[in-house]
Structure 1
Amino acid sequence: MQSPNYGDNPQHYKNLIAQINEEANFPMYLHQNGYKLVQQSAGSMEFQNDEDRIVLQTMRKPMTYFNRNDSCDKGLFFKYLLQRSANFYKAIESGLEITNRTYDLGNTVIKITKSNAFLKSLEEKYNIVPLRNSNYLRIHRGICKATINSPLFRGRIFNAYHIRDNGGRIANIAFPKYDLAGDPKNYILYNKPYRRRADNKVKKFRLVLNQKDHFLFHSKIMARPTRIIFGESGIDLLSYQELHGKKDDFYVSFGGNVHREKLQFFMQLITPMLQNKGLELKSIMDNDISGHEYDLKIFTALINQNNTDLYAEASFKNGNVSLSIHYTEKVRNRIASHKNLLEEKLTSDLRRDNHVFGLVRCVGFSDKLLLEFSLQEVINTTHIIRQQNVFKTLLDAINGLYLPFTANIHKSNGKDWNDDLMVSKKTKFIKMEKVVPKELGIGDQIELKSPKGPEGATNKGTIKSIKPNGVECDFGLTYTYAIPYLAIVSHFKNTAFLSREREDERTKKNDNLQNHIA
């Protein structure tokens, strides 16, 4: 009997994928397919072949993986197969065959392989030099020279050339991962996708040069930033700076994955800055499931770092999240009031918005609070009143209750902030995060809170002049109309004006090679 197409019966395939992820013997599969076990700890196993370094997180059920040589190659076992299969259906077929496979190896134990041959490490195969060629960032990622040359990032982005590339034809972009002393200990390399000779498939170019994975790329250290902004890749940070950045922002990149060692390093890095009055922490993680998971992991770690009598932990299984907040005996008398505060915050709008009521289950126990929800549902459900998804409302409520500083998230419209930057280069207007009167400019557009504009016209108008208490706008009518700031719900920046402002921020050229980008 022929299997149905995915579109005809998606649940059938979702069940098969879940079965593959649960039942496949991931370590043995890698072992049987030529991977060598090179490292092992209580919670992980690392396998290597000529192209990949696959780290299995064995404590998770089902087991997950990530590839040190490709930050986009991560997930569950089926994702691993899908990345290496001709199409979705071939991956399903392979996965089912693997789950039914019996490994007749007796009591075989996978042992760490120690090679006697001397092999050059990736680190030895690339020369890191000051940035002279930024074509990949500027042409393929849409990031302008002014952003690359800004005081925040000047001198912190490099070129990496393969040792065989004598003519310097392939200029990879290298983001250094710094230690606490500010010395680079590792690099993440980026460039255009390439076609792999082995299977003729197009593959993204992402390389991490060594195993010192817990260090992080960040912008220039500053003693008193007003915002600490953290995201996934260095390219996301540059993109956000170009769209929404300020001169006293401090940026940190997690490099495509979040784990315990990175979180510990992140806390060490930012702790001296957390004492600054008025400091804001902002997550700009990708607008996908993984990005939202990273938000929860990082803010959970921040809660633990800043509360001596609380311990929070988040677990993820089959798209569902269980967030437990444990209280020591000293503060357990707060559980009931904290539960009431969270429920009030979570349901104040939901009562008027019945289709999202009950998405988050909040249960109080004698020693902890438990929050349970479907991550996909809280991401995809929007409050009618707040005009933001339930996930943001939930995170705002938790951070407001447990963190001593302002902390929030800002999600891109596309998958990530570089997608938004690329779109902004093609469109005339981009929507700003919030309405700030002093940032409104002539030529920008505004949207009114009311569904219709003056004389029943559209509620979107173009700013013609700026007044002390509002703006004068053209709504396509005979006359312009004065609009008070309080009547504006959205601000759309004219990208022509935005580009001009960014160019005005350029620093004077000097002898530093960073300022003479090809």
Structure 2
Amino acid sequence: MNDALQQILRIDLVQYAHSLGYTEKIRAKSSVRWTVLKNPATHDQIRIKASDPMMYSNNDPGLDQDRGNVINFCINRLEGSIVPSFKPEKAQYAKAFKTLKSYIGQVTPEAVFHEVKDYSKKVLDKNKIKNLRPFTGITSMYLLEKRNIDPNILHNPLFKNMIMEAPVPMANGKVIFNTAFAKTDIDENITGYVSHFYSSKEKKNLKRVFELRPTLFKSSFVGKPNTLFLCETAVDAISHYEMHRPKDIMYASFGGQVIQDEINEIQLLLQKMENNSTIVSITDNDYSGTQYDLKIAVELYNIKHPENHIEYLQLSSSNKIVIHDENAIDIDVLKKNMMAIFNEEMDQNIDKHLLPYFNFAKTKSMTVIEFPRSKERKHHLFLQPLISSVHKINGQNFQFNKSNLKDWNDELKLSKKKLCRSLKQIFHNNHNKE
């Protein structure tokens, strides 16, 4: 680690707070682990954790996001008043380093900006991972009430050790717990988690990601799985499993983003499975979900075929797939299949402007497929033949298993509503007969 950064993080936060006027120690609220200080001039009250690196939080319920290490403490007070900064800019880091000069000497902000940012986040995330606990009734209630998921799923061997709870300290000293879906490496060591909770303020389910490095949420490796279900969230995986109960499978969620580290992990999972393993896509039934499917197909192909790689170019109005192998795909069959589906999806009066963005060409060294970009949900199924073709030339078994609604949790909720209505109707009919 950069020497200047080491000096910054070695600053005694209690002493630094004293230099800013935090001179009143509140003994009644202090403990072996925490020192509580108050600034008589501003009435700001903070709790400083006696650990390395020292961490702090604000005791004001309205400033519960004012927390972190000495760097966060300094940045949040650059303007004279307390302004919690969720994602500090480079300029804020630069000002913070200048403010801390008297403790650490001369610092070049440009040299340590990215290192400070990454290190601060990793320290926070590492501490959060350590504090994960086994699930309790809190998680059962969240899954049942907010996601319509049967809590008994928590005891299934596929998910038993992958669903936990993450503590969230509140400004009033209380601690609440959110449902946490563990992210693990290929050997099932926890490297992070995705915290799910219901926001009463925003009236919707939200999530937060904490990770030491990018990895997937995966179900446990049970028995001899030969099918890998790929989805966007852990909730989708559990919802799909409750509805279908497939055998000899694994689930993996990439959390709404697909980066190379996760592609590499998908490839390792496939290698770990039985021969002739199959990928099944259960990503969201929309344009974004299908784009994820295409990117995964392309990147898995490129791992095995670096000499004849595929380029995936995202342009302003269209996307292009460039395959550096002119004989890899039968372009005439692909064009026929893609256009047949698009013609079924499109409205001839509204969507005809998209047709010029379809281009299929072959040269002596490559095949080029261009298709329109559209955020409308109806315009994405035409990509399925292309995705299947890329997996086929890669020698990978592949299937789609899309929900009818946007995602599998929506599908699960609807199926239970229909079941509830049916049971009510049966009860009503029997009651009338009596």
Global fold match (TM > 0.5)? yes
- CA offsets per residue over residues 228-262 of structure 1, 9 Å max, x none? 10111111100111122313221001022111222
Q: Distance in 2 between matches of 1:242 and 1:220?
A: 16
Asked if 1 retains the 8 angstrom alpha-carbon contact of 2:157 and 2:222, the reply is no
Tell me the amino acid that sits aligned with residue 313 of structure 2: S
Tell whether 2:127 aligns with 1:124. Answer: yes
Kindly state the Cα deviation for residue 157 of structure 1 after the two structures are TM-superposed: 0.6
The SS at the match of 1:224 is coil
Q: Distance in 1 between matches of 2:383 and 2:186?
A: 33
Matches within 5 A, 1:156-171: 156-163=162-169, 170-171=176-177
The SS at the match of 2:211 is coil
Tell whether 2:319 aligns with 1:318. Answer: no
Tell whether 2:144 aligns with 1:138. Answer: yes
Kindly state the Cα deviation for residue 326 of structure 1 after the two structures are TM-superposed: 1.2
2:209 is matched with 208
2:158 is matched with 152
Q: Flag the 1:192–1:349 CA change in 2: closer, same or farther, 3 A.
A: closer
| 2:371 paired residue among 370, 373, 380 | 373
Q: Flag the 1:203–1:429 CA change in 2: closer, same or farther, 3 A.
A: closer
Tell me the amino acid that sits aligned with residue 129 of structure 1: R
- CA offsets per residue over residues 87-120 of structure 1, 9 Å max, x none? xxxxxxxxxxxxxxxxxxxxx97971749x9997
Please say which structure displays the higher CA radius of gyration.
2
Tell me the amino acid that sits aligned with residue 127 of structure 2: E
1:428 is matched with 419
Q: Distance in 2 between matches of 1:378 and 1:310?
A: 32
1:218 is matched with 218
Asked if 2 retains the 8 angstrom alpha-carbon contact of 1:325 and 1:368, the reply is yes
| 2:331 paired residue among 339, 346, 370 | 339
CA RMSD of aligned residues (A): 4.0
Q: Flag the 1:122–1:109 CA change in 2: closer, same or farther, 3 A.
A: closer
Q: Distance in 1 between matches of 2:358 and 2:217?
A: 35
Q: Distance in 2 between matches of 1:128 and 1:242?
A: 25
Q: Distance in 2 between matches of 1:367 and 1:211?
A: 42
Q: Flag the 1:207–1:379 CA change in 2: closer, same or farther, 3 A.
A: closer
Q: Distance in 1 between matches of 2:343 and 2:203?
A: 49
TM-score (norm 1): 0.52
Matches within 5 A, 1:102-501: 112=113, 114=116, 121-125=124-128, 127-133=131-137, 134-163=140-169, 170-195=176-201, 205-212=206-213, 214-222=214-222, 224-273=224-273, 276-277=275-276, 279-307=277-305, 309-318=307-316, 320-327=318-325, 332=326, 334=327, 338-346=330-338, 360-376=358-374, 380=378, 389-400=381-392, 402-428=393-419
Kindly state the Cα deviation for residue 125 of structure 1 after the two structures are TM-superposed: 5.0
Tell me the amino acid that sits aligned with residue 414 of structure 1: L
Asked if 1 retains the 8 angstrom alpha-carbon contact of 2:125 and 2:212, the reply is no
Q: Distance in 1 between matches of 2:315 and 2:110?
A: 28
TM-score (norm 2): 0.61
The SS at the match of 1:143 is coil
Q: Distance in 2 between matches of 1:254 and 1:381?
A: 23
Report the structure, 1 or 2, having the larger strand content.
1
Kindly state the Cα deviation for residue 398 of structure 1 after the two structures are TM-superposed: 3.6
Q: Flag the 1:255–1:174 CA change in 2: closer, same or farther, 3 A.
A: same
Q: Distance in 2 between matches of 1:191 and 1:244?
A: 25
Tell me the amino acid that sits aligned with residue 209 of structure 2: V
Asked if 2 retains the 8 angstrom alpha-carbon contact of 1:229 and 1:251, the reply is yes
Asked if 1 retains the 8 angstrom alpha-carbon contact of 2:166 and 2:179, the reply is yes
Asked if 1 retains the 8 angstrom alpha-carbon contact of 2:331 and 2:360, the reply is yes
Q: Distance in 1 between matches of 2:206 and 2:231?
A: 19
Q: Distance in 1 between matches of 2:197 and 2:238?
A: 15
Tell me the amino acid that sits aligned with residue 407 of structure 2: D
Kindly state the Cα deviation for residue 146 of structure 1 after the two structures are TM-superposed: 3.2
Q: Distance in 2 between matches of 1:235 and 1:248?
A: 20
The SS at the match of 2:113 is coil
Kindly state the Cα deviation for residue 377 of structure 1 after the two structures are TM-superposed: 8.1
Q: Distance in 2 between matches of 1:162 and 1:396?
A: 43
Q: Flag the 1:54–1:424 CA change in 2: closer, same or farther, 3 A.
A: farther
Instruction: Give unmatched runs, 5+ long, in structure 1.
Output: 1-37, 39-48, 57-107, 196-200, 383-388, 431-493, 497-518
Q: Flag the 1:352–1:112 CA change in 2: closer, same or farther, 3 A.
A: closer
- CA offsets per residue over residues 402-442 of structure 1, 9 Å max, x none? 13232122222222211111111111399xxxxxxxxxxxx
Kindly state the Cα deviation for residue 297 of structure 1 after the two structures are TM-superposed: 0.8
Kindly state the Cα deviation for residue 140 of structure 1 after the two structures are TM-superposed: 0.5
2:50 is matched with none
The SS at the match of 1:287 is coil
Tell me the amino acid that sits aligned with residue 130 of structure 1: P
Report the structure, 1 or 2, having the larger helix content.
2
Q: How many residues get paired?
A: 313
Q: Distance in 2 between matches of 1:54 and 1:427?
A: 47
Q: Distance in 2 between matches of 1:266 and 1:391?
A: 21
The SS at the match of 1:121 is helix
